[in-house]
Structure 1
Amino acid sequence: MTRRKLDLSGEVCPYTLVKALLVLETMESGASVEISVDYPPASSNVPRSLVLYGHEVVSVTVEGPAWVIVVKKGRTGESR
Protein backbone atom coordinates (compact mmCIF):
# COMPACT_ATOMS: atom_id res chain seq x y z
CA MET A 1 0.00 0.00 0.00
CA THR A 2 1.37 3.41 -0.95
CA ARG A 3 1.78 5.92 1.84
CA ARG A 4 0.18 9.30 1.14
CA LYS A 5 2.06 12.51 1.90
CA LEU A 6 0.56 15.70 3.28
CA ASP A 7 2.75 18.81 3.45
CA LEU A 8 1.35 21.26 5.98
CA SER A 9 4.40 23.54 6.02
CA GLY A 10 3.36 27.11 6.74
CA GLU A 11 0.08 26.04 8.39
CA VAL A 12 -0.69 26.72 12.05
CA CYS A 13 -3.00 25.07 14.59
CA PRO A 14 -5.86 24.28 14.39
CA TYR A 15 -5.63 24.12 10.58
CA THR A 16 -2.91 21.47 10.74
CA LEU A 17 -5.27 19.10 12.56
CA VAL A 18 -8.32 19.97 10.46
CA LYS A 19 -6.47 19.34 7.19
CA ALA A 20 -4.98 16.09 8.50
CA LEU A 21 -8.45 14.86 9.53
CA LEU A 22 -9.91 15.78 6.13
CA VAL A 23 -7.26 13.69 4.37
CA LEU A 24 -7.71 10.77 6.77
CA GLU A 25 -11.48 10.81 6.05
CA THR A 26 -10.75 9.97 2.40
CA MET A 27 -8.51 7.02 3.25
CA GLU A 28 -9.21 3.34 3.98
CA SER A 29 -8.74 2.01 7.52
CA GLY A 30 -5.17 0.77 7.96
CA ALA A 31 -3.74 3.13 5.31
CA SER A 32 -0.88 5.45 6.29
CA VAL A 33 -0.18 9.11 5.71
CA GLU A 34 3.05 11.04 6.25
CA ILE A 35 2.26 14.53 7.54
CA SER A 36 4.94 17.25 7.49
CA VAL A 37 4.54 20.25 9.81
CA ASP A 38 6.91 23.12 10.58
CA TYR A 39 4.85 24.87 13.27
CA PRO A 40 6.34 23.71 16.61
CA PRO A 41 3.05 23.34 18.55
CA ALA A 42 1.67 21.15 15.74
CA SER A 43 4.46 18.62 16.30
CA SER A 44 2.77 17.59 19.55
CA ASN A 45 -0.83 18.79 19.09
CA VAL A 46 -1.48 16.90 15.85
CA PRO A 47 -0.26 13.47 17.05
CA ARG A 48 -2.04 13.79 20.41
CA SER A 49 -5.31 14.81 18.77
CA LEU A 50 -5.17 12.14 16.07
CA VAL A 51 -4.83 9.46 18.75
CA LEU A 52 -7.95 10.87 20.42
CA TYR A 53 -9.74 10.49 17.07
CA GLY A 54 -8.81 6.78 17.00
CA HIS A 55 -5.80 6.84 14.69
CA GLU A 56 -2.39 5.31 15.40
CA VAL A 57 0.69 7.53 15.43
CA VAL A 58 3.46 5.32 14.06
CA SER A 59 6.30 7.82 14.44
CA VAL A 60 7.23 11.46 14.86
CA THR A 61 10.67 12.44 13.55
CA VAL A 62 12.54 15.66 12.90
CA GLU A 63 13.69 16.21 9.32
CA GLY A 64 15.44 19.54 8.93
CA PRO A 65 13.10 22.37 9.95
CA ALA A 66 10.04 20.08 9.91
CA TRP A 67 8.50 17.28 11.91
CA VAL A 68 7.23 14.24 10.02
CA ILE A 69 4.29 12.46 11.62
CA VAL A 70 3.40 9.03 10.24
CA VAL A 71 -0.20 8.09 11.01
CA LYS A 72 -2.11 4.88 10.37
CA LYS A 73 -5.84 5.43 9.96
CA GLY A 74 -8.01 3.77 12.58
CA ARG A 75 -11.44 2.31 12.01
CA THR A 76 -14.08 4.84 11.02
CA GLY A 77 -16.01 6.20 13.97
CA GLU A 78 -13.57 4.80 16.52
CA SER A 79 -12.50 7.36 19.10
CA ARG A 80 -10.89 7.18 22.50
Structure 2
Amino acid sequence: MKITYTLNLEGEACPYPAIATLDALPSLKSGEILEVLCDCPQSINSIPHDAKSRGFKVLEINQDGPTLRFLIQKP
Protein backbone atom coordinates (compact mmCIF):
# COMPACT_ATOMS: atom_id res chain seq x y z
CA MET A 1 0.00 0.00 0.00
CA LYS A 2 1.51 3.31 -1.09
CA ILE A 3 0.72 6.44 0.89
CA THR A 4 0.21 9.39 -1.45
CA TYR A 5 0.08 12.25 1.09
CA THR A 6 0.80 12.66 4.80
CA LEU A 7 -0.89 15.24 6.99
CA ASN A 8 0.96 15.56 10.31
CA LEU A 9 -1.30 17.39 12.74
CA GLU A 10 0.33 16.29 15.99
CA GLY A 11 0.12 19.01 18.60
CA GLU A 12 -2.89 20.67 16.96
CA ALA A 13 -5.93 21.19 19.19
CA CYS A 14 -9.33 19.70 18.42
CA PRO A 15 -11.22 20.16 16.18
CA TYR A 16 -8.47 21.40 13.83
CA PRO A 17 -7.20 17.92 12.79
CA ALA A 18 -10.69 16.88 11.65
CA ILE A 19 -11.20 20.18 9.77
CA ALA A 20 -7.78 19.97 8.08
CA THR A 21 -8.47 16.36 7.05
CA LEU A 22 -11.79 17.35 5.49
CA ASP A 23 -10.06 20.18 3.63
CA ALA A 24 -7.46 17.75 2.22
CA LEU A 25 -9.79 14.93 1.11
CA PRO A 26 -11.23 16.63 -2.02
CA SER A 27 -7.75 16.95 -3.52
CA LEU A 28 -7.26 13.16 -3.58
CA LYS A 29 -7.61 11.36 -6.88
CA SER A 30 -9.20 7.92 -7.15
CA GLY A 31 -7.04 5.29 -5.41
CA GLU A 32 -4.82 7.79 -3.60
CA ILE A 33 -4.22 7.36 0.13
CA LEU A 34 -4.01 10.11 2.73
CA GLU A 35 -2.17 9.37 5.97
CA VAL A 36 -3.30 11.55 8.89
CA LEU A 37 -1.27 11.75 12.10
CA CYS A 38 -2.69 13.54 15.12
CA ASP A 39 -2.89 13.33 18.89
CA CYS A 40 -6.35 14.79 19.43
CA PRO A 41 -8.38 12.11 21.29
CA GLN A 42 -11.70 13.15 19.71
CA SER A 43 -10.28 12.41 16.25
CA ILE A 44 -10.57 8.65 16.80
CA ASN A 45 -14.30 9.07 16.14
CA SER A 46 -14.62 12.28 14.12
CA ILE A 47 -12.08 11.68 11.35
CA PRO A 48 -13.30 8.19 10.32
CA HIS A 49 -16.95 9.28 10.57
CA ASP A 50 -16.38 12.40 8.46
CA ALA A 51 -14.36 10.51 5.84
CA LYS A 52 -16.90 7.69 5.50
CA SER A 53 -19.84 10.09 5.32
CA ARG A 54 -18.15 11.74 2.32
CA GLY A 55 -17.62 8.44 0.51
CA PHE A 56 -13.98 7.80 1.42
CA LYS A 57 -12.67 4.45 2.64
CA VAL A 58 -10.93 4.26 6.03
CA LEU A 59 -8.25 1.59 5.52
CA GLU A 60 -6.55 1.72 8.92
CA ILE A 61 -6.79 3.32 12.32
CA ASN A 62 -3.79 2.80 14.59
CA GLN A 63 -2.86 4.25 17.95
CA ASP A 64 0.69 4.45 19.26
CA GLY A 65 0.62 6.13 22.66
CA PRO A 66 -1.17 9.46 22.16
CA THR A 67 -0.58 9.42 18.38
CA LEU A 68 -3.44 8.37 16.12
CA ARG A 69 -2.77 7.31 12.53
CA PHE A 70 -5.50 7.10 9.91
CA LEU A 71 -5.18 5.85 6.34
CA ILE A 72 -7.98 7.17 4.15
CA GLN A 73 -8.46 6.25 0.50
CA LYS A 74 -10.54 7.80 -2.22
CA PRO A 75 -12.38 4.97 -4.02
Match for residue 6 of structure 1? Answer: 7
Aligned CA RMSD, in angstroms, stands at 1.5
- What are the ranges of 5 or more consecutive residues in structure 1 without an aligned counterpart? 75-80
Match for residue 59 of structure 2? Answer: 58
- What are the ranges of 5 or more consecutive residues in structure 2 without an aligned counterpart? none
Q: Distance in 1 between matches of 2:34 and 2:25?
A: 8
Match for residue 26 of structure 2? Answer: 25
Matches within 5 A, 1:37-48: 37-48=38-49
Deviations 1:37-69 (A, max 9, x none): 101011121111110011000010012320100
TM-score (normalised: structure 1) = 0.79
Contact persistence 1:4–1:33 (CA under 8 A): yes
TM-score (normalised: structure 2) = 0.84
Moved over 4 A (4+): none
Identity among equivalent pairs (%)? 25
